[in-house]
Amino acid sequence: MSGFRILGICLTVIGTVAAVCPHWFSPLTGGPEPAVDVFEAVERRVRGGMVLGLGLVFIAVPGLRPWSTSIPTAIFYFITGALAARLLGLLVDGVVPKQWLLVAVEVGVMTLVALWLWRSSVSAA
């Protein structure tokens, strides 16, 4: 197992815990005081989800070459971590319409990246 995979596993665990319990990681997620509204509470979880996504990137991308697959794979997994934390925040903290707009944007970007990956795998075969 490479050092990047071990780092990815560590970041994934830290990001998951930070998304589930953002008050434990207050310097990372936005300060020790409670969130002022539901939107900010969800955004604090998303910051932990970004660390989760970064860990997933280190696990999923073994090398930077070829760029046509490594960059979209990294984008896909990074957004996956943020989206998972955002959906968790919507379930736990409450629903905010602006958060659903951000969910739609993230799903749209992930769809474009997935199409990019699918197209590059079809052309390579």
User: What pLDDT, in 10s, does the model give residues 9-67?
Assistant: 999 999 999 999 998 988 888 877 888 899 999 999 999 999 999 999 999 988 878 87
pTM: 0.89
For the chain, the domains span 3-124
Q: Which DSSP category does 24 fall into?
A: G
**Among candidate residues 47, 35, 42, 49, the one with its CA nearest the CA of residue 83:** 49
Give residue 29's pLDDT.
81
Give residue 66's pLDDT.
80
Give residue 95's pLDDT.
93
Query: Please, what is the average pLDDT of the chain?
Result: 91
Average pLDDT over residues 78-87: 96
Average pLDDT over residues 65-93: 92
Three state DSSP letters for 36-75: CCHHHHHHHHHHHHHHHHHHHHHHHCCCCCCHHHHHHHHH
Percentage with pLDDT > 70 across the chain: 97
Q: Name the band, by pLDDT with cuts 50, 70 and 90, for residue 68.
A: confident
